[in-house]
Amino acid sequence: MTNITIPFSPYEHQQQIADLHFEGRKHGCLVIHRGGGKTYLCVNLLIRNAVSQNNTIYIYACPQYSQAKRVAWQYFKTFSHPVPSTKFNESELTIKFANGSTIMLVGTDNFDYLRGIHINGAIIDEYGMSDPLAYSTVIGPALFVKNGFVIFAGTPAGKNHFFEVYNKYLQLMKEGEKDFFAINLNCNETNLFSHEQLENKRLEIGSEAFQVEYLNSFDSVIQGSFYGEYIDNAIKEKRVTRLLVDSTLPIHTAWDIGYDDQTSIVFFQNLRNGNINIVDFYENHHKGLDHYISVINKKDYWYGKHFTPHDSKKHEWTNGETIINTAKNKGINFSAVPMYSRADGIHFVRSLLPLCFFDDKNCAHLLDCLSNYRNEPLVRDNAYALNPKHNWASHAADAFRYMAVVIRCGVGSILTPRERRRSKHYQNKVIL
């Protein structure tokens, strides 16, 4: 076999991680500070796997496809260039090696096209900012077929799905499970920067951002998050717990209907004491209305009203009918949510969240989405304008916003007279 020299000289901490990986641990989680060489390491781990195993497929995933191209594509080309007969496809961001192996750069914002591909290994970079459904519904099953490896990597993004994976893998590693490893290295442990450099960076970005980016703190709220602080408070106040459904009150739903992407459904109950129980949540994508109605019907709930965006009166489903009419023909009577500005809706959510209780199991993904729904402000006329980032968290956050609009704006009673009679202890007042 021809010796191939790749121009990568790992730091000590990078070599330790590589050793853990190549000793056969198939599940890894890397929490490494900004500038800690995480991407360099991930790129070279995939290249080494690809050139040493014939006819294999590996993926490197970022939250967005454009980010994968911007952050890692040039590194892949630089470190793969010494491998003879390597072919680079710039338009598809793929690298094909002479031994038949392939590395694909992908974005978790559009993971459906990976369906049907059996993958030997995957590294998901900045996992805290990535759609967790990409792994659970597509990448994970594709790896399972080939008994492939996965490494989740990134800097902290609050106590979300990345935090959960890190803690899970760390615990398994401590228990002696040889298939798992978890590494957390902050800037004081890699010794890549001088004290003066780190102090200047702290002064530049602020102490809170420095805690996240360089000291790997999961305790800080995601920068720009609209609701992160409120979700943290709900957890601290033990309002995220196992909920019991009140059988004397109906469950209402609020929908955000995606025509080309996710559809999100929030299931909630208005309690007599003014609190709101968020009892369930469902999200999927690229499914027809029949699928979501089937999900609704299979749940053993007594339903009240189903709320959908105001534009459902205009948007057509694939049959040419409006969504509201299509749903009505299938037994679901939608009520359109009145139109309010997004800024008003976000205000309504913030005012409502202190009254909300969440089912810890059914609503885990919803909580993740609400924490990760964040602003990327635009500067207009020397002032910051509202600019919510459209990503994997947006649809769930929008469905929750529609629920808040209905409740906070007093869109009439959301209990019909028949429903009020069924509610044995109803106090002859609108439950909002």
Buried b (16+ CB within 10 A) or exposed e, 157-174: bbbbbbbebbeebbebbe
Give the bridge partners for 378, in sequence order.
Answer: 385
The structure's pTM equals 0.77
The pairing of beta strand 180-185 with beta strand 27-32 = parallel
Does position 315 have pLDDT exceeding 70, yes or no?
no
Centroid of chain to Cα 270: 27
Band of residue 239 on the pLDDT scale cut at 50, 70, 90: very high
To the nearest 10°, the Cα dihedral for 276, 282, 286, 287? -100
Does position 80 have pLDDT exceeding 90, yes or no?
yes
Centroid of chain to Cα 18: 27
Q: Is residue 337 included in any domain, yes or no? A: yes
Q: Which of 377, 374, 399 is nearest to 386 (CA)?
A: 377
Same structural domain, 208 and 247: no
Same structural domain, 209 and 236: no
Band of residue 258 on the pLDDT scale cut at 50, 70, 90: confident
* Final residue in a domain of this structure, among 189, 213, 237: 213
Q: Is residue 429 included in any domain, yes or no? A: no
Instruction: Give 135-150 pLDDT, tens digit per residue.
Output: 998 999 999 999 999 9
Does position 37 have pLDDT exceeding 70, yes or no?
yes
Question: Is 353 within 8 Å of 235 (Cβ atoms)?
Answer: no
Q: Which range, of 38-52, 71-85, 408-422, averages the lowest pLDDT?
A: 408-422
Q: Is residue 431 included in any domain, yes or no? A: no
Question: Is 431 within 8 Å of 415 (Cβ atoms)?
Answer: yes
Determine the average pLDDT of the residues in 332-352.
90
Same structural domain, 158 and 307: no
Rounded to whole angstroms, the Cα distance separating 331 from 25 reads 51
Percent of the chain at pLDDT > 90 equals 66
Determine the average pLDDT of the residues in 17-33.
95
Centroid of chain to Cα 85: 38
Does position 181 have pLDDT exceeding 80, yes or no?
yes
pLDDT at 175: 96
The CATH number assigned to the domain holding 338 equals: 3.30.420.280
Q: Which range, of 16-30, 271-285, 309-323, 383-397, averages the lowest pLDDT?
A: 309-323
Task: Give the E-state strand segments of 33-171 in sequence order.
Answer: 57-62, 87-89, 94-96, 102-107, 121-124, 149-154
Q: Is residue 324 included in any domain, yes or no? A: yes
Average pLDDT, the chain: 88
The domain of 102 spans 12-213
Does position 88 have pLDDT exceeding 70, yes or no?
yes
- Both tokens of residue 231? 């979700």
In sequence order, the 6+-apart residues with CB closer than 8 A to the CB of 209 are: 220, 223
Same structural domain, 114 and 178: yes
Same structural domain, 234 and 189: no
Q: Which of 83, 113, 107 is nearest to 95 (CA)?
A: 83
What 3 state SS string does 203-238 have? Answer: HHHCHHHHHHHCCCCCCCCCCCECCHHHHHHHHHCC
* Final residue in a domain of this structure, among 213, 239, 259: 213
Question: Is 342 within 8 Å of 387 (Cβ atoms)?
Answer: no
Dihedral-angle region of residue 112 (phi above 0 means left; psi in -120 to 50 means alpha; beta otherwise): alpha
Higher-confidence residue of 409 and 44: namely 44
Same structural domain, 209 and 234: no
The CATH number assigned to the domain holding 33 equals: 3.40.50.300
Percent of the chain at pLDDT > 70 equals 90
Letter for the amino acid at 207? Answer: S
Higher-confidence residue of 432 and 257: namely 257
Torsions phi, psi of 81, nearest 5? -55, -35
pLDDT at 76: 96
Torsions phi, psi of 202, nearest 5? -60, -40
Q: Is residue 204 included in any domain, yes or no? A: yes
Determine the average pLDDT of the residues in 315-326.
69
Question: Is 372 within 8 Å of 224 (Cβ atoms)?
Answer: no
Question: Is 321 within 8 Å of 293 (Cβ atoms)?
Answer: no
Does position 270 have pLDDT exceeding 80, yes or no?
yes
Does position 400 have pLDDT exceeding 80, yes or no?
yes
Same structural domain, 315 and 354: yes
Q: Is residue 218 included in any domain, yes or no? A: no
Sign of the Cα pseudo-torsion (251, 368, 391, 290, in order): negative
- Both tokens of residue 92? 């598809």
Same structural domain, 299 and 408: yes
Does position 426 have pLDDT exceeding 50, yes or no?
no
Question: Is 41 within 8 Å of 10 (Cβ atoms)?
Answer: yes
Same structural domain, 44 and 161: yes
Rounded to whole angstroms, the Cα distance separating 427 from 7 reads 75
Same structural domain, 189 and 275: no
pLDDT at 432: 31
Determine the average pLDDT of the residues in 83-88.
94
Instruction: Give 189-216 pLDDT, tens digit per residue.
Output: 999 999 999 999 999 999 988 999 999 9
Band of residue 412 on the pLDDT scale cut at 50, 70, 90: very low
Rounded to whole angstroms, the Cα distance separating 197 from 16 reads 25
Q: Is residue 6 included in any domain, yes or no? A: no
Total structural domains within the chain: 2
Question: Is 159 within 8 Å of 218 (Cβ atoms)?
Answer: yes
Does position 98 have pLDDT exceeding 70, yes or no?
yes
pLDDT at 413: 52
Does position 45 have pLDDT exceeding 70, yes or no?
yes
Question: Is 31 within 8 Å of 43 (Cβ atoms)?
Answer: no
Rounded to whole angstroms, the Cα distance separating 309 from 336 reads 6
Question: Is 410 within 8 Å of 432 (Cβ atoms)?
Answer: yes
Helix (H, G, I), strand (E, B) or coil at 318: coil
